[in-house]
Structure 1
Amino acid sequence: MNRVPGWLLRHEVTVEPYLGTSAYGPRYGPAVTARALVAATVKRVRDRTGAETVSTAQIIAAPDLACPNGSRITLPDGRRTTALTVAHHTAPGLPVPASTEVMCE
């Protein structure tokens, strides 16, 4: 399986993976820095509950990015956002790269 080429991933994002909710609110794992391609554009998407919402940033990263829904993400411009949906794209047998797509709040 091909991976998205590293030379396409021009940005750097920081991901704090969502671990769940505790008595004190959401819990996040240790911050991880990852190379990504970030597009700051507004799109209408459905969140994990199926509700329609607006995404203001989209991230394409390597297929092994650990970023569950609800994770906190710091974008290259310093803005902090939340992962609305995460999609892992693979196409076994086809000459297209595998990647992870994250739609952000």
Structure 2
Amino acid sequence: MNWAEFVEEYVPEPHEITVEALTGAGGFGDVYGSPVVVGPCVVDESTRRVAVQTQDAAGHNDTSGATVLCPRGTTAPAGSRVTLPSGRITRVLAVAVLDAHGLDLPEHVELSLE
């Protein structure tokens, strides 16, 4: 089952998000790519704890205010800006690419947002 089939069968109201991928830092702060509409997505605006990878090996835990499941191939590295269907603009804390591992499951990308 691919992501599109999964969404069609199990998600009654899929959403779209807008992602501005973090591309680096400049003299005036973070630099973002052009906005890209990504969908269909599953958006869950509930709070949970997530592990966040940092430059050192320690990392840290943070509070995520939303989780978005989106199609495989979505480009949204940590620090990217995301506009949710509610209009809220937030940043990506952590990204997980979930592989099907040969099972009949949909491969997708999970974004943990501030």
Runs of 4 or more, structure 1, over 6 Å off, are none
59-68 vs 87-96, greater mean Cα deviation? 87-96
Structure 1 gap ranges (5+): none
**1:69 matched residue in structure 2:** 78
1:48 alignment partner in structure 2: 53
TM-superposed CA distance for 1:52, in Å, is: 1.2
TM-score computed with the length of structure 1 as normaliser = 0.93
Q: Which runs of 5+ in 2 are unaligned?
A: none
Contact 1:15 1:71 in 2 (8 A): yes
Q: What's the RMSD between the two structures over aligned residues?
A: 1.3
How far apart in 1 are the matches of 2:18 and 2:102? 31
Report 1 or 2 for greater relative contact order, CA contacts < 8 Å, sequence distance ≥ 6: 1
Q: How many residues align?
A: 104
2:43 to 31, 38, 42: 38
Bigger radius of gyration? 2
Greater helix proportion: 2
- What fraction of aligned residue pairs are identical, expressed as a percent? 35
